[in-house]
A and B are shown apart, each in its own frame.
Chain A
Amino acid sequence: MNCFEARQDFRSFWRRELQPERRAAFNQHLSGCLKCDWAFRQFALSAPALHSETEPDRTGTVSRPSVRLQAQRSNRFFRESRSSSQWLSMVAAVVLFVTGASAAYFSVAGQNQTLSDAMHQPDPVVQLVSSDLPPVNSDLGQ
């Protein structure tokens, strides 16, 4: 490869459009030709804006393929755990929790005769306040 051919290939090299043999010849030429190497480095300064097909996000390393990969990993986790006994142990834990919570609730609620009684008992705060107030119509009669 001569200098003219190498410089013609700058863009294709950047876009990864060269065949492997041609790419190897390009690399070999640049490693031995200081002028073309310098010219390629100058080209590389503007090439990201002119020749790259995608731009990385402002956040840096997070790119679409990574997000997709994470989603795939997450899906894989759910698929794998379903096939193993993890789901079973999770269900068992939930059942145990619900049973325990119910037992605790009914042990407290059992002090009242029925649930309805417990609900209709007057609020102690209301009782306390209303006992200090005068009868409702006491001023009207005078």
Chain B
Amino acid sequence: MRRLALATRIGWSAAIVPDEQLVADALAGQTEAFSELSSRHRQRVERLCQRFFSDQEMARDLAQEAFLKAFAALATYRAEMPFGAWLRAIVTNVCYDELRRRKRRPEELVGDFSEPELGWMQLVSTATPEELVSEAEQRRESHDLAHRLLDTLKPEDRMVLVLKDSEDLGVAEIAETMGWSEAKVKIRAFRARQMLRKQAQRIMSAGRPRVVQ
């Protein structure tokens, strides 16, 4: 902690104090060390929660819950593993529990799209790839629709998809994070992609502009 205070006082970035040292300081009773840890990782944790839940308030709440759990379990942390990876495992499990608590959307998505969502679907059918990337950044409905699409997946499938595609984790890392076998991760990834393709095809055919004769 003295190191942290010194680093702050002389104007260095607090990032020079490694996470592992901050964990040791927090375990020694210096709560400021854990505050520093949480402020370092908060953005990444909240982003991961948002991959699962589009509601930003909920994502923040889950991030908070994950930090509380991390604080309570800090004594179990072993320095062989990067703190970020250890924290990600906690966040992932918090989100997984929440996904299982929530009722999954029915597979049949077609039929209850909002007007903006329909507009986005038509754009997906007609715009160029460059336009799609730019428009998706501006349009809230693109995110809403994507979350609705992912909501149709089973929690296990969605976990694998997010960890693999968004977090760039390998099969072995996902298996370790979730406590599953690698075979299970591969099967879940395959099913998730298959299901996603199926749903996307439904959406694409629903979003095609109608030909007026």
Check: B197 CB closer than 8 A to any chain A CB: yes
A23–B59 Cα gap in the complex (Å)? 33
B165 touches A42 (CB 8 A): no
CB–CB B133/A50 < 8 A: no
Interface centre among B124, B146, B149, B150 (most CB of A within 10 A): B146
Contacts of A37 in B (CB 8 A): 129
Bin the interface of chain B by size: 35 or more
Q: In the complex, are the beta carbons of B130 and A27 less than 8 A apart?
A: yes
A48 proximity list for chain B (CB < 8 A): 136, 142-143, 145-146
We find that the number of chain A residues with CB closer than 8 angstroms to chain B is 30
Considering only residues 30-53 of chain A, those with a C-beta below 8 Å from chain B are 30-31, 37, 40-53
Report A-chain residues with C-beta under 8 Å of the C-beta of B137: 52, 54, 56
Q: Indicate if the CB atoms of A50 and B143 lie closer than 8 Å.
A: no
Nearest B residue to A15 via CB reads: B133
Q: When the two chains form their complex, are residues B145 and A50 in contact, meaning their CB atoms are under 8 A apart? A: no
Question: How many contacting A-B pairs (Cβ < 8 A)?
Answer: 83
Chain A nearest CB, measured from B47 CB (Å): 8
Partner of B140, one of A16, A50, A56: A56
The binding surface of chain A is classed by DSSP as: helix
Given contacts A11-B165, A52-B143, contact A45 B51 (CB under 8 A): no
- Residue numbers of A with Cβ under 8 A of B are 11, 13-14, 16, 26-27, 30-31, 37, 40-58, 60-61
CB of B50 within 8 A of chain A?
Answer: yes
Q: Of B56, B121, B125, B133, which one neighbours A13 at CB under 8 angstroms? A: B133
| In contact, A50 and B161 (Cβ under 8 angstroms) | yes
Q: Is the CB of A58 within 8 A of B140?
A: yes
Q: Is the Cβ of A49 less than 8 Å from the Cβ of B51?
A: yes
